[in-house]
Amino acid sequence: MAEYTQSISFYGREIDINIGLLAPQAGCGVWLTSGETSILVTATRQPGRPGIDFMPLLVDYEERLYAAGRIPGGYLRREGRPPERATLISRLIDRPIRPLFPEWLRDDVQVVATTLSVDDNVPPDVLCILGASLAIRGARIPFNGPVAAVRVGLFKDEFIINPTYAEIEAGDLDLVVAGCADGVIMVEAGANQLPEKDVIEAIEFGFEAIQELLKAQNQVFQDLKIEPVELPPPPENEALVAFVKEQAQEAIQSILKQFLDKTSRDQRLDEIKAKLEAQIQAQPETDPLRLYLLENPKELDVQFKALTKKLMRQQIIQEGVRVDGRKLDEIRPISCRVGLIPRVHGSALFNRGLTQVLSITTLGTPGDAQELDDLHPSDEKRYMHHYNFPAFSVGETRPSRSPGRREIGHGALAERALVPVIPDKDKFAYVVRVVSEVLSSNGSTSMGSVCGSTLSLMDAGVPIKAPVSGVAMGLIKEGDEVRILTDIQGIEDFLGDMDFKVAGTQAGITALQMDMKITGITVDIVEQAIQQAKAGREFILSKMMEAISAPRPQLASTAPRLLTFKVDPEDIGKIIGPGGKMVRSITEATGAKVDISDDGTVTVSSAVGGQAEAARAMIENLVRRVQEGQVYLGKVTRIIPIGAFVEFLPGKEGMIHISQLADYRVGKVEDELAVEDEVVVKVRSIDHKGRINLTRLGISPEEAAQVRNNHH
């Protein structure tokens, strides 16, 4: 492809597009630059693998620390496993483009977005979605695009497109909305308890802005004479479709109307499918249907699922009844418990239908904050939410591995939902980690994690600003007929058109995540789903409050105790000491852990009462400004012929001249003092070089008794 360049003016930013210069052997390479953020997005397609029943799409977002002028840490000094934020951006790119590929496409498609440079004003993630859309069409891959995304912020009561990192941090909303000509495809948002109407307005505001990017892409395709690639669906085996319908439709309908639980329903459906397989295997070896399935072994399963999907959706559209008998806006039975697990700082068990999540809270010291080594400006995280999804939660067996993209994404969503209610650092200095263990899954475990984690935080005594609940919404759309479902279960997610998760407090929304399986919906449908979700959230929250209505007034006895105070930043070096010698000595002497921030905030933590107070006293003595006339209890460190040196504060020494040892003549210092003796001294003077002269004279008995009591 010959090199092509174009520039788009978009809400105060220029987006420079270059196609054809970089990555000439990829299907298409698109180089985008906005401000000083520069990314390369490639799309490549290879012939499909035979026998698979899904589209093998792979989306990777690659961060290179050279993009920010940094060398990676660690022994190897090169990028290793992607940081969590890079995995989340990979998912952000994947989610709006995946529904736009023909569902019967079986070719391997890979989209790779590489950040070449980045500045603090232009986050690269939404730029990558634009690049992916251009690259896919440029690679002549069948695709129902174009698609584009924008970020919407709420800063000083105004919605803004393309907020900077600083504006996102200072504002009350961080929303990414993606869409195509057919409507909204994806929404991802974190909000500071915003009312539903504000969030809906932000989505509409962003969707309108997207239209400019869609027009610009169409102009690029027109300039390059790139027409959409039409890929007709493979022909269905009409005999197999008719066989499955004739032999299984009545049986499937009967099961869907019996309102069985998930386990029983799945078992009965599997039995029907097994009968179909047995019927086909009983046919002669020359039977055309049997021969077809020998060559296409997964087609029976595909057609069985297609018929089940059609009948389930038909039942919801025509009768307004779901497969478990619930109404469209009805939530499954909920039960909650707190304080189940001994020893841990907080725990809660949340059950909603067959979904069960155990959330456990751990409180740590400021030194336990997670250090971030990626291209985002923030360098640490003091609230962490981790989500685990073991195979047994869905009755399966598979090896346990490190968290995958789905687990990272669900944990990040729950984290985003709870961050707005975590107390500020100056009011609650603890670092908080919540782990959500999914013990049973039948729909919306991420929202179950939000609910369970809220209860766990309150059980731990974390003074959250407000409790958060969450609910997953679904959609069945057949032509103009639309049905929105509250609290979707697994089959409704799998066979439905939308997975829309909404989390928030009584005051408003804290997080949104919407993914479509069709090519977009109108903002009106989004608004209806958000409003219906509010009633669901409030119902779930009322059930949660029956288990625990407010954070416990006291932390668990096993949680560390923190003391936080300020020192002059100039004194930080005195506390740390050469090579950390002084702070280590404080820890060894008291058993307490000491964390010091650059602004002079000192946090002392201990598990045993009195340790933190002892460490605080040592630190305060260490940085205390010495003044003439102050009285201290010190220890003799060395003796010279003219006097004795006394350490009266950590790291601070002064000398008592022999004439100041007593109110009578002293012949030898050793007659009065020995090394390691405790002695009460007063600061007599401080000379121009900072040398401190001490005396034992002029100290009243009351002063001596007070300093001894304070010390011991």
- Residue 122 is encoded by which pair of tokens? 């232009």
**Nearest C-alpha neighbor of 112 from the set 63, 54, 155, 165:** 63
Q: Which residues pair with 19 in a beta bridge?
A: 4, 30
Q: What are the strands, taking DSSP E only, across 138-261?
A: 148-155, 158-161, 173-180, 183-194
Pairwise CA distance, residues 171 & 155, whole Å: 5
CA atoms lying within 13 Å on the CB side of residue 131: 36
* Residue 81: strand, helix, or coil: coil
Pairwise CA distance, residues 694 & 682, whole Å: 6
H or E element, residue 334: strand 334-338
* DSSP single-letter state for residue 194: E
Pairwise CA distance, residues 607 & 593, whole Å: 10
Q: Which residues pair with 565 in a beta bridge?
A: 602
Cβ contact 622:649 at 8 Å: yes
The sign of the CA dihedral 294, 296, 298, 299 is negative
Distances (CA, A) of 308 to 200, 249, 255: 34, 8, 10
Tokens 């969450």 correspond to 470
- Residue 361 is encoded by which pair of tokens? 């809270």
**Nearest C-alpha neighbor of 612 from the set 597, 593, 596:** 593
Buried b (16+ CB within 10 A) or exposed e, 34-73: bbebbbbbbbbbeeeeeeeeebeeebbbbbbbebbeeeee
In angstroms, the first-to-last Cα distance of the chain is 82
φ, ψ (nearest 5 deg) of residue 345? -80, -25
Q: Nearest 5 degrees, angle CA 505-CA 509-CA 513?
A: 125
499 is an annotated ligand-binding site residue: yes
Residue 605, exposed/middle/buried by CB under 10 A (0-12, 13-18, 19+)?
buried
CA atoms lying within 13 Å on the CB side of residue 341: 17
**Nearest C-alpha neighbor of 35 from the set 165, 226, 178, 207:** 165
Pairwise CA distance, residues 547 & 481, whole Å: 39
Pairwise CA distance, residues 226 & 180, whole Å: 18
φ, ψ (nearest 5 deg) of residue 608? -115, 135
Can you say which residues are annotated as belonging to the binding site for Mg(2+)?
493, 499
Can you say which residues are annotated as belonging to the binding site?
493, 499
